[in-house]
């Protein structure tokens, strides 16, 4: 049986999808439901479902970002977005991220069953037959029960997926908006809905830099701009860009630019 997780902030939708869709017809079983994206991701990480059906705008999470987080960590999990938003650009972005179907509410049974069939067909093509399957159509080895392939196990070039790029783009945007305080990798990971370990891998593979290198680069570029103002003291600039230890700021600045902050200012 293929494991299914349903995520929607409307209880009537969750109940309807769980009970009305003929899951057994497609060798599927609903193993968990959630009413917000954060809880949904926790269920996904715990249960490793084969299929996820999710709303796109929910409390505590943007479903599109959740879909990207899911596809970047578990690339073989099939995702269908169910939403009331008629936004063509949103549809295009969701499909680029690897979402299988984008269904508008209110949906009918024919659309839902077509989506479920499309997802199970794709899983079979990838050699994934769910759990408790006696014999697959071919003799290829079965994936470990209850598991899907994680992108972190892929080769570096295979990690350059649209979902991974989307996560990295959002992570870098978050860093740029918050570099001026004591930001941590955990904080960025929490705001992009992936684990710290996975985010660290994505940043390295997509940018060639670690989290601390990206953060320091962002801070030093901001410091360079502030150094153009002669009225600002070096210590004040260091604090403004998120360094609360002047000696540390000085070391990082010189390492990245080859000169001290004072020397850089004198060269302007």
Go through the domains of the chain in sequence order and give each one's CATH number.
2-152 (3.40.50.2300), 156-267 (1.10.10.60)
Find where tokens 């060269």 sit. Answer: 267
Res 90: pLDDT? 74
Torsion-angle region of 193 (φ positive above 0: left; ψ -120 to 50: alpha; else: beta): left
Residue 157 confidence (pLDDT): 44
| Region of residue 105 (phi > 0: left; psi between -120 and 50: alpha; otherwise: beta) | beta
Helix (H, G, I), strand (E, B) or coil at 81: strand
Q: How far apart are CA 118 and CA 84, in angstroms?
A: 21
> How far is Cα 267 from Cα 200, in angstroms, rounded to an integer?
36
223, 235 contact by CB (below 8 A) = no
Q: Would you write out the chain's pLDDT as a tens digit for each of its 268 residues?
A: 999 999 988 889 999 999 999 999 999 999 999 988 788 888 998 999 999 998 887 776 776 787 888 888 888 999 998 887 776 777 788 888 888 988 888 788 999 999 999 999 999 999 988 765 434 434 333 333 333 333 333 343 444 688 889 999 999 999 999 999 999 999 999 888 888 999 999 999 999 999 999 999 999 999 999 999 999 999 999 999 999 999 999 999 999 999 999 999 999 8
Write b or e for each residue in 133-146: b if 16 or more Cβ atoms lie within 10 A of its Cβ, otherwise e.
eeeeeeeeeebeee
CA separation for the pair 213, 95 (Å, rounded)? 32
Please give the pLDDT value at position 181: 92
């Amino acid at each position: 049986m293929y494991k299914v997780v349903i995520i929607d902030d409307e209880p009537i939708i969750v109940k309807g999808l769980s009970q009305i869709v003929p899951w057994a017809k497609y060798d599927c079983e609903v193993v968990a439901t959630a009413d917000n994206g954060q809880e949904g991701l926790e269920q996904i990480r715990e249960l490793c479902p084969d299929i996820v059906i999710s709303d796109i705008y929910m409390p505590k999470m943007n479903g599109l970002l959740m879909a990207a987080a899911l596809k970047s960590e578990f690339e073989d999990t099939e995702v269908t977005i169910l939403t009331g938003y008629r936004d063509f650009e949103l549809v295009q972005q969701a499909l680029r991220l690897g979402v299988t179907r984008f269904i508008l509410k209110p949906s009918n049974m024919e659309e839902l069953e077509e989506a479920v069939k499309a997802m199970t067909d794709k899983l079979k093509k990838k050699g994934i037959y769910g759990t408790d399957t006696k014999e697959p159509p071919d003799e290829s080895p079965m994936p470990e029960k209850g598991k899907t392939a994680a992108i972190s196990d892929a080769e570096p070039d295979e990690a350059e997926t649209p979902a991974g790029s989307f996560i990295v783009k959002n992570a870098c945007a978050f860093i740029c908006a918050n570099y001026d305080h004591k930001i941590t990798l955990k904080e960025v990971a929490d705001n992009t809905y992936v684990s710290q370990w996975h985010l660290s891998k994505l940043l390295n593979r997509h940018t060639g830099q670690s989290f601390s290198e990206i953060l320091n680069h962002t801070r030093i570029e901001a410091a360079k701009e502030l150094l153009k103002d002669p009225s600002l003291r070096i210590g004040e600039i260091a604090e403004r860009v998120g360094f609360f230890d002047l000696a540390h700021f000085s070391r990082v600045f010189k390492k990245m630019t080859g000169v001290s902050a004072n020397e850089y200012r004198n060269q302007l």
